[in-house]
Amino acid sequence: MAAHLAARGDDRSRAYAALLASVYDPDAERRFAELLERCKSKPGQPCNLHDMAPGDESRRVVARETLARLAVTTSDPEVYARAWQACLPITERRPRAEASGGAGSQCTQLSLQRWAALDAGNAVPWLHVLAQPGLTPAQMAEVLHQIAQSQRVEHSWGRLPAAVVEAEGSGVPRGWLMNAALAALGIDAQMTPPYSSLKKQCDTAAVTDANRRQTCEAIADLLGFRSNALLDQSIGQAIGRKIGWPADKQRQLDDERDAMLAVSISPQIDGQPLSCASYDRMRRYWSTAAKDGELGLVRAALAASGEPLGVLAERGRREQREFSERIRAAAAPASAASAAR
């Protein structure tokens, strides 16, 4: 799998190959095929197809240095972002960095400013800058301004699993590709930037300052309406509430969130998870995620339902209320018994 991606030759494919090699050793595909054959020979018996050895620290170090070398010369912002994430033990000077060979690492040549320059208009690198320790108030204000002036918040979640499942026909078993896609999803999940500093800089006390309020209002709009991630939408809305967003703006995001509860977002895998039909659904799912992010998946599912957003939102709210009532009803006997003691 990793070799297939690396053979494409472009920086992004080589970065993806390095990331996958950090999760599974080069012999993992052969062992998976053997495990699959053993499972087929014993129908009706339990078989764990996810029983694969994870990558060890040495492979992670190799992957990190490969990514860092690619990042030094790349013009691809995603490659740089992947390298920055892999290099965090070095760039954050965590204690384990020295044990991992951090002193001579290529990671020391990376900078968030370079990432921001490569990915102009995207707030994600600036969100990482904001989380850096030791920023002065003036520096903090400048970074917040950069975030507020960004055109979008574009995350790369879903792109690595998409690259994996698109490799069907490369000679790698379909079951292995689906298994590797799960590992790739775990890697992508680590790409979320830290938000604690942003929340603090745009909390209720901070927005009493007129300039800060204006900046945070722009950031709330950016996160709420120009991001491809659900978490950003939630954080943007929370900031919006603090600065007094109008009710119609709040309602717009509330409706989309509640409507999501009434539709199925995950790919529908039938009773034969390795069938062509199941795999095609998985491929379409990750293709949409790679192109449009989490919110793209949500909006595609909402559109596919054929129902108005308001109708779906009301159904989602009703289902949420019914679920809460069932939880309370189930907990009532235990609460009564506890009170009687």
C-alpha 156/C-alpha 193 separation (Å) is: 11
Instruction: Write the CA distances from 91 to 77, 104, 265, 337, integer angstroms.
Output: 18, 12, 36, 54
Q: Residues 222-232: pLDDT tens digits?
A: 999 999 999 99
C-alpha 147/C-alpha 140 separation (Å) is: 11
- Do the beta carbons of residue 198 and residue 127 sit within 8 Å? yes
Residue 215: what residue type? Answer: T
Instruction: Give the pLDDT score at 331.
Output: 83
Paired with 122 in beta bridges are 152
Share of the chain above pLDDT 90, in %: 57
Report CA torsion sign: 231, 143, 239, 216: negative
Instruction: Give the pLDDT score at 96.
Output: 39
Q: Is the predicted pLDDT of residue 303 greater than 70, yes or no?
A: yes
C-alpha 212/C-alpha 227 separation (Å) is: 21
Provide the 8-state DSSP code for 210. Answer: H
C-alpha 290/C-alpha 191 separation (Å) is: 14
Provide the 8-state DSSP code for 122. Answer: B
Residues 314-318 have a mean pLDDT of 95
- Do the beta carbons of residue 19 and residue 82 sit within 8 Å? yes
Instruction: Give the pLDDT score at 216.
Output: 96
C-alpha 181/C-alpha 20 separation (Å) is: 10
**What is the pTM assigned to this prediction?**
0.82
Q: Is the predicted pLDDT of residue 41 greater than 80, yes or no?
A: no
- Do the beta carbons of residue 193 and residue 131 sit within 8 Å? yes
Q: Residues 84-102: pLDDT tens digits?
A: 999 987 665 443 334 344 5
- Do the beta carbons of residue 35 and residue 63 sit within 8 Å? no
Q: Using N-to-C axis directions, what is the helix angle for 11-23 and 77-86, rounded to 10°?
A: 30
Instruction: Give the pLDDT score at 25.
Output: 61
C-alpha 337/C-alpha 341 separation (Å) is: 7
Instruction: Give the pLDDT score at 170.
Output: 64
Domain boundaries, the chain: 1-119+155-194, 246-341
